[in-house]
Structure 1
Amino acid sequence: MNKEYLEQWLNVGECVNVQMPNEIFEDLSKGEFKSFNHKCFAYAYYYLICYIYRNALYGGETDQYSQHNIINVFTSDKSSVSYITKSGGLLDEIGYTRTTTDYPVTYYMDGGILEFGLIKELRKKIPNLEMNHSPRFCVKEPIKGMARFDGEDYTGTFYSFQNTHKIAVENFIKIISDKKLGHVGLYIYGYISMMCDKYNNKFQITNAQLGELVGCSERTMKKYTQRLEELNLIASTRVYYDKKQLDKVYSII
């Protein structure tokens, strides 16, 4: 999907950004994905459902945010990733998502705490409320947004930014809409963003080591980091020892 469509679809300028849990990289690495590409898809997909849920975008033209349309942002082959996104699929299994028909139509603050107004509550108040979507419409609730610690309420990334990393929606769109980056580029950008947060925006590592941590080859890492630099999303400098080029030092712009 192109940049202009995504900006309108995601209501950029009116919505708030979301945080991603740092543990997502370790958790996804334990999942039985069919490929590195699919692992990256799962990360990008989770970011998008967090953003849509947190901003209660379902409260507008609900059917715009069907699972079909969300997946189409990343791939035209829905069947290839259905094992990740379906009800009871991989993301449901590892505790990152829950398939539900009860979606947020609004959000508000109650005593300083973020709360969501859900469609089932609204239908109790307005029994004859017309649906603007198919009867089988369902969404993915981002569980880590709500709770991260043994199901304790209000401990998720919507409430606490501790041990999280942020990807501004403008950067999400810039990366996803770029044909050379896509969801793989987003995954790599997210990992570098997390590490830059930990190391005062100076993350020192070789491309070979970074590829090993992320789960791809040095060649793949070099290709994607170069493109991220070309788009002014990250920057890097070289570290020299005894006049030899060694590690790179990455920073988020």
Structure 2
Amino acid sequence: MAKTVLIGQYVETNSVFHRLDPRTKIISMIMIMLSFLTLESFISYVVATLFVVSILLLSKISFHIFVRGLKPILFILIFTFIYNVVSTKGTVIWSWSFIEVTVEGLYNGIRIVWRIMLLILLASILTLTTKPLSLAHGLEKLLAPLSKLHVPVEQFSLMIVIAIRFIPTIVQELDRILLAQKARGYDITVLKLPKRILAYVPILIPLLFTITQRAEQLTYAIDARAYGNGKGRTTFRPLKFQQIDYKVGGILILITVSLLLLNMRGI
């Protein structure tokens, strides 16, 4: 299960996105995601999909990793689709009892699920192509102006990156607990869906206990390295914008503006 988690993992390849400054990737991804939230027409969705597929190809990361990473959210996607189908009023094409399926509901369900998948793939590109420490350093540099308002930027950046990095760690711990139960003759995967959901409830206590232990060990490790509040710390490789950052950033801004213009004109 841990291998199916996209967010929080890093895959080493020699791609354009791996060579980019983390600040370029963070700013670009935020801009593109905001433009994706305004998608309405079919053409704009097709353009956005082609753009995301192009980014996946340029990252030189196997498509199998992305497809495998979407499996954990399959239930959420199905639930979102069904909820929109039965809750949206409009032209009824099928009904049973109080349940009605409408044309508008199908359209909204497909549109929202499509958008969620694009956003998740974009977010995964950021973490799959950026090392956690580089991501923390880039986020810290972007939020540096807030330090004048006495905002603990260094601690906030470190907290965000640790939270992202802990996602696959939590899943690994869950896998370990499930394997321990399977070794004792109790396999949750063979249970039916309602019983399987209830079977996960007793696992929460040992999982929370293990996560707490991990967090405590991480705290001791940070203290042992005299991290403190993080202010005034230097880095071995200072961040510096390169020519490739300006080129790729300009292209991404151009695509973002194009998507916004398509939505504004209703194309």
Q: Please identify which structure carries the higher helix content.
A: 2
TM-score strictly above 0.5: no
Q: Please identify which structure carries the higher strand content.
A: 1
TM-score (norm. length: structure 1): 0.27
Query: Which structure is richer in relative contact order (CA contacts within 8 A, separation 6 or more)?
Result: 2
Larger Rg: 2
